[in-house]
Amino acid sequence: MTLLDKVWELHKVATLPNGQDQLFIALHLVHEVTSPQAFQMIEERGLPVLFPERTFATSDHIVPTDSKARPFSDPLAEEMMAALERNVKKHGIQAFFPGSGRQGIVHVIGPELGLTRPGITIACGDSHTSSHGAFGALGFGVGTTQIRDILATGTMALSKPKVRRIEITGVLPKGVYAKDIIMTIIARLGVNGGLGYAYEYAGSAIQALGMEERLTICNMSIEGGARVGYVEPDEKTIQYLRGRPFAPKNIDEVAPYWLSFRSDPHTPYDDVVRIEGNALEPMVSWGINPGQAIPVSGRIPSPMELPPAERDTAEKAYRHMKVSPGDPIEGKKIDVAFIGSCTNGRISDLREAAKIVKGQKKAPHVRAYVVPGSEQVDAQARKEGLHAIFQEAGFEWRSAGCSMCLAMNPDRLQGEEICASSSNRNFIGRQGSPKGRTLLMSPAMVAAAAIAGEVVDIRKWER
């Protein structure tokens, strides 16, 4: 059996008449944008929240990152925030709102509060719920009607996916990060390569990663079409959870149970892919989906170099991004730098970026932002003096939220600006301007680009 099989069987309530499985959801995370209609739906049917003790809320998508004073300047954001406050109060749901010291991006706070843990099912109305697989959990991104189902029944209807094991062998070269691993996987297997699959990430290069780096990898599973991605838990998983506010106090007693969630040796997989970790390079996206990415030393591909099904999208990408086949990506001028998001807004990301930024100044023409993933990340960064390093380099230090990853708050690109971004999506319009352009890369690469004013190869960085 695979880890997926084990967690699935453990949480399976029944087989539904239509053949799908009814899965119990052990942890339901709720945020302000995708939940108000779901609460309304259960109220219209007179149904209670069945497991409020397994439901936790925060606000991340629409919260401003400059001032969180109420009311928010955007009346729609204020209304959305107020609706969540009403709903959690009415239904007895524990919430972590701004000022609590625990607010943050839902996929950052789940792990840091110790709610995320091995061997459980997690759902949230956000596609990046796949992140939580870093702990050997199964995280499902769901829509609002499914949130209704989980609120009302603690369960949801699902079809069991196939499992593709992706082994990253060897050792990562210097300057190559978790972000580069997942961007390489998506570039090779395609943005639809994971349809119908869960991705099991394994191999020596994955085992060597810390928990936060594993979160980065699992986070972007969905960008490759895989709704679920996971890593088998190990000692690092246990160590990370030790002492977290919601983690079991008797963690040493629980550890063997948690560690039992692994795929059996020699278990068959639906597919296996091996990638040589030693050969990986820093990656940069050049197009309008996360699969349109190349090593920083590479050149933008011509349509003929691409599979036929990807050529139309490539043509569209050349036009939107104003690039041509054969162009290098290194040296591409940027206007904005964004370090943050559920992909790369954790303390280890800020530490790596700060190493690059320390003692430097951002390029004069670049607007540069650091948005910590949570209030806890913010506090820890301040304790370590990281915020001062960024501020002295001319970066704006903001407060926790999703911010410019999807620009539902005032943080956004203007016009055709190009943004070096540590986030997860480079879709047209994603960062708030219909003509805006996004270059995805690791936080260290974003930091270096902010200073140089253009895309640089972090492996050659000497300052």
Partner 1 sequence: MPQQDLKNSSAIEHIKGRGLPLPENDVDTDRIIPARYLKFITFEGLGAYAFYDERFDEQGKPKPHPFNDPKYSGATILLAGANFGCGSSREHAPQALYRFGIRAIIAPSFAEIFAGNATAIGMPTVMVSPLHWEALIALVTQNPQTEIHIDLKQKTLSTTSGWTCPVEMNEGYRKAFLEGSWDTTAVLLANFDLIRKKAMELPSLC
Taking the C-alpha atoms of residue 206 and residue 204, their distance in angstroms, rounded to an integer, is 5
Q: Does 406 contact partner 1 by CB under 8 A?
A: yes
Smaller CB separation from partner 1, 67 or 159: 159
Smaller CB separation from partner 1, 77 or 386: 77
Q: Least CB distance from residue 219 to partner 1, whole Å? A: 13
Taking the C-alpha atoms of residue 176 and residue 77, their distance in angstroms, rounded to an integer, is 38
Residues 434-453 that bind partner 1 (CB under 8 A): 434
Contacts of 223 (CB under 8 A, 6+ apart): 182, 186, 191, 289, 290, 291, 424, 425
Taking the C-alpha atoms of residue 129 and residue 141, their distance in angstroms, rounded to an integer, is 5
Among 220-228, 331-339, 366-374, 441-449, which window interacts with partner 1 (CB under 8 A)? Answer: 220-228
Bridge partners, 258 (sequence order): none
Q: Least CB distance from residue 68 to partner 1, whole Å? A: 17
* Number of chain positions touching partner 1 (CB under 8 A): 81
Residues 334-393 that bind partner 1 (CB under 8 A): none
Contacts of 232 (CB under 8 A, 6+ apart): 3, 136, 200, 202, 261, 262, 263
When binding is defined by CB under 8 A, the residue of 5, 43, 79, 330 that contacts partner 1 is: 79
When binding is defined by CB under 8 A, the residue of 11, 31, 367, 398 that contacts partner 1 is: 11
Bridge partners, 368 (sequence order): 337
Taking the C-alpha atoms of residue 246 and residue 284, their distance in angstroms, rounded to an integer, is 37
Residues 271-330 that bind partner 1 (CB under 8 A): 289, 309-310, 312-313, 316
When binding is defined by CB under 8 A, the residue of 5, 85, 91, 144 that contacts partner 1 is: 144
Residues 99-118 that bind partner 1 (CB under 8 A): 115
Residues 35-54 that bind partner 1 (CB under 8 A): 36-37, 40, 45-48, 50-51, 53-54
Residues 235-274 that bind partner 1 (CB under 8 A): 246, 254
When binding is defined by CB under 8 A, the residue of 64, 111, 154, 340 that contacts partner 1 is: 154
Smaller CB separation from partner 1, 152 or 388: 152
Alpha carbon separation from 78 to 32, 83, 93, 237, 400 (Å, rounded): 10, 9, 20, 37, 17
Taking the C-alpha atoms of residue 47 and residue 152, their distance in angstroms, rounded to an integer, is 6
Bridge partners, 202 (sequence order): 167
Q: Does 126 contact partner 1 by CB under 8 A?
A: yes
Among 72-80, 97-105, 231-239, 324-332, which window interacts with partner 1 (CB under 8 A)? Answer: 72-80
**Phi, psi (rounded to 5 degrees) for 418:** -105, 130
Residues 182-211 that bind partner 1 (CB under 8 A): 191-192, 195-196
Characterize the bridge pairing of strands 283-285 and 271-276. unpaired
When binding is defined by CB under 8 A, the residue of 59, 65, 131, 155 that contacts partner 1 is: 155
Quickly list H helices, 208-346.
211-219, 235-241, 251-259, 311-321, 341-344
